[in-house]
Structure 1
Amino acid sequence: MNSKQLLYLFLSFLTLTMGYAFLRYTYNVTDSLPFTQEIVLIILGTVATIFITSLLLNKQTTVEVEKEQNIKFLELKTKTYEKLLDLLEEMSLVHQFSDAKLIHLSFITHRLALVASPEVLEEYQIFLSVMQKISKDNTFKGDTVVLHKALSALTLTIRDDLLGHSIHTQYSKIQLEEMIKKNSRQSSEIRND
């Protein structure tokens, strides 16, 4: 809990305690007057209902905002993966792919660094190694079996990531940075060969 939440919790507890003490005092003072105790109990019930409702609505709003953020992130992740697969499809359909396609691949590599899970980044690194070996002549001609084998492993990892089945092995920040840098280097080395 952060300090703001602790402050709200403390103020809520203080308000509830003081309100209870005041209503208890009012209840005992109005003992001799007719129907006043019932009115005090109605007020107490109303205050308790409002308090509980506000707590539940606050929690519901927080959950809805978090859900919307997760949906937007999943959409961004899906679009990035689709762009990667579309580009690879375009590259394998042409007789000889251009340097522009390789530059596009480099930029998708950077997009992947933003959204992909560590498992996808690791599998993508393996895929880039395979791609670097087979694309020296700017074509995948004769190497489609090797390409599709590496691509199928990458696709399965992407699928697991989108479905939330990732293992989420503990990667340190340094390991993630190294994976991202290596992916970036490898995607640019494909262009230079």
Structure 2
Amino acid sequence: MTPPHPRAAAQLLLVLLTCAAAYLTFRFLFNASDSFPFSQELLLVFIGAVATVLITAALINRQTELELRKEGQVLLLDRKSGVYFALIEHLGEIVEKGRLEEEALAELRVLNHKLAMVADGDVIRHFGEVLNRLERAVRDGDISDDEQDRIMRAAAELTWWMRRDLLGRFVDEDPEAVLRAIRANNAGLESAGG
């Protein structure tokens, strides 16, 4: 369990001090109004109303915090998936053309920076492997069929890590079986194309 934020701890202390002061004040007023029972009843109604307002405010504050956190996670997931799909499409275009032009390299650099902002560390490391294979492939200017296959194999591994980052840590499936299926699909496409 994480320790409370210093600001939250200060707020909690302030609430406790306020409650203690209010209790002592109301106790004094309650005892002072023994001869006036109607005043005691009004005081009890007021105390009940204040307690209700405080409890409701605390619950609404917590609910708002949870909703904002949830909305932030949804926005991050949407951003991640957009960057991941753009990256896969761009890699596909590069491999399809068989060469890395300046414009494609510039877009790949931008996607690399976007990836650095939203991606899991494993995705970034496996994207580095794709970049290494791409760099080796374009040294002579053109990407051969063999090099295309190696790049797409590395991209298939990358998609598995992207999937893992987007969908979580796989509660109901065997991650190794999924990775084997992705590799088999990629190998099947390579053999169909060759």
Give the TM-score category using the shorter length: 0.7 to 0.9
The letter for the 2-side match of 1:61 is: T
TM superposition score normalised by structure 1: 0.76
Q: CA deviation at 1:128?
A: 1.5
Pick closer, same or farther for the CA change 1:97–1:141 going to 2, 3 Å.
Answer: farther
Partner of 1:160: 164
1:5-84 equivalences in 2 (<5 Å): 5-84=8-87
1:40-189 equivalences in 2 (<5 Å): 40-136=43-139, 137-165=141-169
Q: CA deviation at 1:27?
A: 1.9
User: What do you get for the CA RMSD once the two structures are aligned?
Assistant: 2.1
Contact 1:92 1:140 (C-alpha < 8 Å) held by counterparts: no
Q: Is the partner of 1:139 in helix, strand or coil?
A: coil
User: Relative contact order: is structure 1 or structure 2 higher (C-alpha 8 Å, sep ≥ 6)?
Assistant: 1
Q: CA deviation at 1:95?
A: 4.8
What's the % identity of the aligned pairs? 30
Number of residue pairs aligned between Structure 1 and Structure 2: 166
Runs of 5+ in structure 2 lacking a partner?
171-194
Runs of 5+ in structure 1 lacking a partner?
167-193
Contact 2:123 2:162 (C-alpha < 8 Å) held by counterparts: yes
Q: CA deviation at 1:138?
A: 3.1
Stretches of 4+ aligned residues off by more than 4 angstroms = none
